[in-house]
Amino acid sequence: MRQKPLHGLRVLDLTRLLPGPLATQHLADYGAEVIKVEDPGAGDYARTMGAMNGDTSFFYQTVNRGKQSLRLDLKQDAGRDLFLRLVETADVVVEGFRPGVMDKLGIGYDVLRATNARIVLCSISGYGQTGPYAQRAGHDINYIGYAGVLDQVGVAGGAPAIPNLQIGDLLGGSLSALLGLLVAVIDAKATGNGRHVDVAMTDAALAHAIFPFAEVLAHGQVRPRGEDLLSGGVPCYGVYETADGRYMAVGALEEKFWRLMCDTLERPDLKPAHLATGADGERARADVAAIFGRRTQAEWVAIFDRVDCCVTPVLRLEESLDDAQIAARGMVVEVDGVRQFAPPVHLSDFELGDVAPAPDAGADSDAILAGLGLDAAEIARLRGAGVL
């Protein structure tokens, strides 16, 4: 088995909560050495957020596996100096503070670059390092609100619906951060010069709103939520309630799939309504809804499992974890007795293998500092001074 693809990449992770920690966990899964740097006080708030599993939360445990933990007070000169010694050995620093905080701590990009010319600093924030909103607080709901995405989520005539998949945090703060920092790392390996990667979660949500953007380009404005091609505006693409209060997802966009679905429903008369809108579309949707309402979800699954026309069940997550396709892909793994998601990108000659659970706060402080040449007495002195 080959070494993991990111073996040898050293990452200093200053982030908390969800976007940054998940991004750096992906790096750790693919072989990077990730050192989670936390202050000696509260540290990462995710440790105690939500349902607990022992001393830490399930949330913390599922976005921090495979990392080391170092407690370090960056507000003290000694803590900053130790961090910069680590920067000399690192490839990437990831931070999620408000713009300007890194400079106030004395570890802004100019300082990091002077310490290590090839360092990549990835800054994750809601609105980016520049612009009139740069210093504003926010959360996912705010970022996707500004990006025009929240307005598009929901049913026709209803209020915007809040998705329980954090689009801005994950698409922006995790995946776009990974894209940006890995692009910069590749360049740094080739040129010896790092970069400051500025990731705004609002930007990333906006830049992926492709279908609403196409409507704006064509018509000057978006369609009302629930009325676009992929949000419920046509009979062939939407969710339909079943007799037991569950739902089926109909994605029969291609005419061949819609025609096959109509034959399966024994309603060939609905075939002309494939992409119908207006009154015709409403009548067709009502007819399809009535049909799906006559059987349970399990009964419809049994029928459509034999028919390849993009009609599938809407599962609850606990059901997804046990689904045959998810199991076949190995998308659920167990780490220290806790089920977790496996890395979502499959690579040839790669296995996650045994991975360490999310670390206790400061669990690796002594070993990391010993690697910098500090002896036990010096480490004890720093701990006594509150630096560690």
| Structural domains counted in the chain | 2
Are 19 and 159 within one domain?
yes
Are 287 and 189 within one domain?
no
Separation CA 379–CA 371 (nearest Å): 12
* Predicted pLDDT at 42: 86
Q: Tokens standing for 248?
A: 């089926």
Are 278 and 365 within one domain?
no
Q: Closest Cα partner for 358 from 29, 82, 4, 122?
A: 29
* Predicted pLDDT at 354: 94
Q: Which residues are catalytic?
A: 139, 169
Q: Tokens standing for 265?
A: 């429903």
* Predicted pLDDT at 1: 72
Residue pair 195/189 in contact by the 8 Å Cβ criterion: no
Q: The domain that contains 283 carries what CATH number? A: 3.30.1540.10
> Would you say residue 5 lies in a domain?
no
Q: Please give the model's pTM, rounded to 2 decimal places.
A: 0.96
Averages of pLDDT over runs of 10 residues in the chain (388 residues) are 94 98 98 97 93 96 98 97 98 98 98 98 98 98 98 95 97 97 98 98 98 97 94 96 98 98 98 97 97 98 98 98 97 97 97 96 96 96 96
Q: The domain that contains 375 carries what CATH number? A: 3.40.50.10540
Separation CA 289–CA 300 (nearest Å): 13
Give DSSP secondary structure letters for 4-25: PTTTT-EEEE---SSHHHHHHH
Backbone angles phi, psi at 251, to 5 degrees: -125, 40
Which H helix or E strand runs over 326?
Answer: helix 324-328
> Would you say residue 65 lies in a domain?
yes
> Would you say residue 232 lies in a domain?
no
> Would you say residue 319 lies in a domain?
no
